[in-house]
Amino acid sequence: MHPYVRYRRHMARHALRQFVASAVNSLEIAGLVFAPVLIGLLAFLAMPVMMASAHVVAARVIGWVAAACGVSAAIWIYQWPAWLRPIPARALCALAASLALGWLLAGTAVAARRLGLRNRAIPRTAAISRTGTAPALAYRARALRPRHAALWHRLFWLPFWRADSQVGRQQCLLLLASLAAAAAWMTHALPLPRAALGLLTSLALVLLVDRGDKAVREQAEALAPMLAMWPLPPGPLLLAARAFTLLPAALVLCALAGLLGGSGAAGFRPGLAAAWFATAALALSATVALPAPPRGRVVLVLLSILLLTAIGSELWP
């Protein structure tokens, strides 16, 4: 087997293990509906060099998806759990829709590959003429304005969304969880004590900054050899990258401030609310600014969550 094929198979297995580890606590129905689609998409990772033969790839992908659908449906019908008994027809329809979606995605990808479709923003390679000479490509350098924001976009933002990186999706989920917890805490929309909702909000907010800053530090370590050879000082760029980590948290704090002034959050103590916001800003800034070791960082995160929870539990008498 070609080394590149073995490498892609190893990457596919590694991605599958990461997905299984992160989806341990997911609902069973989500796995029933979306597992065939995910298997069909992961099949492309293991067979990139076979994309030249479109019919073979499409047949293999569809075969794996159909087999997964059959095995999944047989297991659930055999076990016949209580939640499936009232909705067997809808469950089978959802499974069929999942198979159709996977088939559609596989066919679209293979067709796009065969037709040579690609992103229009990427310049096409110049076609070699019959004489064997390739025409020269025109390239015009453009200045990066503003410089640090543009470099941050290319060196930090884009890598977090490309290849096998899950940082961008992870941060989006944490941001949505923080906003949802903040809304539930301010409006008391869930049948839980407000102190518990404040704990969830503090936990999501601190983890949002901590995970983002950790990803930025790891990316900075990976870029250190390259940045050392640039004629630009890396300090301002790294400072800007770590400062951008606080932007999602600032959005959550602004949403909290807006909800705190609404009718659903009436009766709070203004002095303690100001103390909570000041403590949150200080704790989040310390998480980004302090060069703490791994154990010290864990202690800082735990102290920040406990302190914000303690103050937040006293906002309402």
Same domain, 106 and 213: no
Whether the Cβ atoms of residue 180 and residue 256 lie closer than 8 Å to each other: no
Same domain, 108 and 160: no
Matching residue, tokens 């990976």: 222
Q: CA dist 95 to 31, 85, 100, 197, 228, Å? A: 10, 15, 9, 36, 52
Same domain, 165 and 47: no
> For residue 136, what pLDDT is reported?
53
Establish if 135 belongs to a structural domain: no
Establish if 124 belongs to a structural domain: no
Establish if 224 belongs to a structural domain: yes
Range of the domain at 294: 152-312
65, amino acid identity: V
Same domain, 250 and 111: no
Same domain, 304 and 156: yes
Same domain, 69 and 196: no
Establish if 134 belongs to a structural domain: no
pTM above 0.85, yes or no: no
Same domain, 253 and 159: yes
Same domain, 166 and 297: yes
Same domain, 70 and 218: no
> For residue 165, what pLDDT is reported?
77
Spell 202-217 as b/e; 16+ CB within 10 A means b: bbbbbbbbbebbebbb
Please give the Cα distance from 191 to 294 (Å, whole number). 36
DSSP 125-194: PPPPPTTSPPPPPP------SSHHHHHHIIIIITTTTSTT--HHHHHHHHHHHHHHHHHHHHHT-SSS-H
> For residue 252, what pLDDT is reported?
92
Establish if 317 belongs to a structural domain: no
> For residue 25, what pLDDT is reported?
45
Q: Which two tokens stand for residue 49?
A: 């060099």
Spell 114-142 as b/e; 16+ CB within 10 A means b: eeeeeeeeeeeeeeeeeeeeeeeeeeeee
pLDDT (tens, 9 = 90+) of the chain, 317 residues, equals: 677 777 778 888 887 777 666 655 444 545 555 555 556 555 555 444 444 454 555 556 666 667 777 777 777 777 777 777 787 777 777 777 777 776 677 667 766 666 655 445 444 444 444 445 545 555 565 666 667 777 877 888 888 887 777 888 888 998 999 999 988 888 888 888 888 888 899 999 999 998 888 888 888 888 888 888 877 788 888 888 888 889 999 999 999 888 887 655 667 788 888 999 999 999 999 988 888 787 888 888 888 888 998 888 888 77
> For residue 22, what pLDDT is reported?
60
Establish if 139 belongs to a structural domain: no
- The domain tally of the chain equals 2
Please give the Cα distance from 187 to 275 (Å, whole number). 20
